[in-house]
């Protein structure tokens, strides 16, 4: 693995430049964190000199952590905590003929794998923290919103296409959330937490992918049908207000988000 990191803001331990192509000599925090979080900017496979430390996590506050969990385990644990899991995103990726690398997308929160598949250990980047990127022959340079830059080996296809896919899926999910809430009589406005992120550079895009963003409940149901979503799926039920035995306001989401997610998935 080749990874170089530079930052214009103070690192937690004070160092301003790391070169991960050299032996371990940079400051880090020992961690037993078993899941990615909304603060994670980069998640990288790592076993250099530390066979018991399998992953490196860079958080948005520039805190560097080594954890004994693999990137696959970190992402799986994160996925299990999300209302929109891989099973939902996979439908949309296939719809866009994007079969290999399945991202983890919940609206504005978007984690993209840079290699392999969701079932393998690979690097993941949080697109919601990315301001810009440059792709070269064998590596990619990310510029994050907090001023940090990270340069990684990358041998994949055009990264811009994958980011565009993620942005479109995020827009579809946000629009679907609003339409589902409307079916229950709630008119909500969704504000972006990361308006300067690269994913919002596509907010006004009208390409064939972005034209799939539903504008009405009928559009959403048509999209779900095209995706061959089973009518027992909780998103389909929300779109058609098919919760007669379990009204939305009865969910104890305000006490335990995980319980709320499990209840929805059982519908």
Q: For 194-227, write each residue's pLDDT tens digit.
A: 999 999 999 999 998 888 899 998 898 888 888 7
Residue 229 tokens read as 């979503």
Which pLDDT score is estimated for 193?
A: 87
User: Looking at the structure, do residues 214 and 136 belong to the same domain, yes or no?
Assistant: no
User: Where among 129, 155, 181 does a domain terminate?
Assistant: 155
Which pLDDT score is estimated for 119?
A: 57
User: Looking at the structure, do residues 217 and 186 belong to the same domain, yes or no?
Assistant: yes
User: Looking at the structure, do residues 151 and 208 belong to the same domain, yes or no?
Assistant: no
User: Where among 116, 131, 155 does a domain terminate?
Assistant: 155
Check: CB of residue 114 under 8 Å from CB of residue 154: yes
Q: What is the pTM of this model?
A: 0.79
User: Looking at the structure, do residues 135 and 244 belong to the same domain, yes or no?
Assistant: no
Which pLDDT score is estimated for 6?
A: 58
Which pLDDT score is estimated for 259?
A: 58
Which pLDDT score is estimated for 106?
A: 84
User: Looking at the structure, do residues 183 and 248 belong to the same domain, yes or no?
Assistant: yes
User: Looking at the structure, do residues 150 and 187 belong to the same domain, yes or no?
Assistant: no
Which pLDDT score is estimated for 101?
A: 79
Residue 183 tokens read as 């079916």
User: Looking at the structure, do residues 37 and 74 belong to the same domain, yes or no?
Assistant: yes
User: Where among 155, 181, 196 does a domain terminate?
Assistant: 155
Domain containing residue 202: 163-266
Which pLDDT score is estimated for 29?
A: 54
Rounded CA gap, 131 and 200, in Å? 10
Determine the longest span between alpha carbons in the chain, in angstroms.
60
Rounded CA gap, 74 and 47, in Å? 15
Query: How many domains does the chain fold into?
Result: 2
Residue spans of the chain under pLDDT 70: 1-32, 47-53, 83, 85, 98-100, 116-119, 230-236, 241-267
Phi-psi group of 235: left, alpha or beta (phi > 0 → left; psi -120 to 50 → alpha; rest → beta)? alpha
User: Looking at the structure, do residues 62 and 89 belong to the same domain, yes or no?
Assistant: yes
Which pLDDT score is estimated for 48?
A: 58
Which pLDDT score is estimated for 143?
A: 93
User: Looking at the structure, do residues 100 and 26 belong to the same domain, yes or no?
Assistant: yes
Close Cβ partners of 13 (under 8 Å, ≥ 6 residues apart):
27, 28, 64
């Amino acid at each position: 693995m080749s990874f170089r990191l530079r930052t214009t803001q103070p690192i937690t331990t004070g160092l301003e430049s790391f070169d991960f192509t050299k032996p371990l000599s940079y400051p880090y925090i020992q961690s037993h964190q078993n899941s990615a979080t909304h603060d994670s900017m980069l998640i990288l496979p790592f076993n250099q000199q530390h066979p018991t430390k399998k992953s490196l996590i860079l958080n948005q506050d520039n805190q560097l952590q080594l954890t004994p969990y693999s990137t696959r385990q970190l992402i799986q644990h994160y996925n299990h905590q999300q209302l929109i899991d891989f099973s939902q995103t996979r439908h949309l990726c296939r719809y866009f003929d994007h079969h290999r690398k399945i991202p983890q997308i919940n609206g504005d929160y978007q984690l993209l794998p840079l290699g392999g598949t969701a079932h393998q250990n690979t690097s993941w980047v949080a697109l919601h923290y990315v301001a810009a990127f440059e792709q070269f022959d064998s590596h990619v340079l990310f510029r994050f919103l907090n001023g940090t830059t990270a340069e990684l080996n990358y041998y994949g296809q055009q990264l811009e296409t994958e980011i565009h896919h993620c942005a479109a899926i995020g827009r579809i999910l946000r629009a679907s959330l609003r339409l589902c809430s409307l079916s229950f009589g709630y008119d909500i406005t969704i504000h972006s937490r990361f308006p300067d992120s690269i994913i919002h550079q596509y907010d006004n895009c009208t390409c064939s992918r972005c034209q799939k963003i539903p504008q009405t409940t009928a559009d959403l149901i048509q999209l779900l049908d095209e995706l061959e979503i089973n009518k027992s799926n909780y998103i389909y039920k929300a779109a058609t207000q098919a919760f007669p035995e379990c009204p939305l306001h009865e969910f104890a989401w305000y006490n335990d988000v995980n319980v709320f997610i499990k209840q929805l998935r059982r519908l």
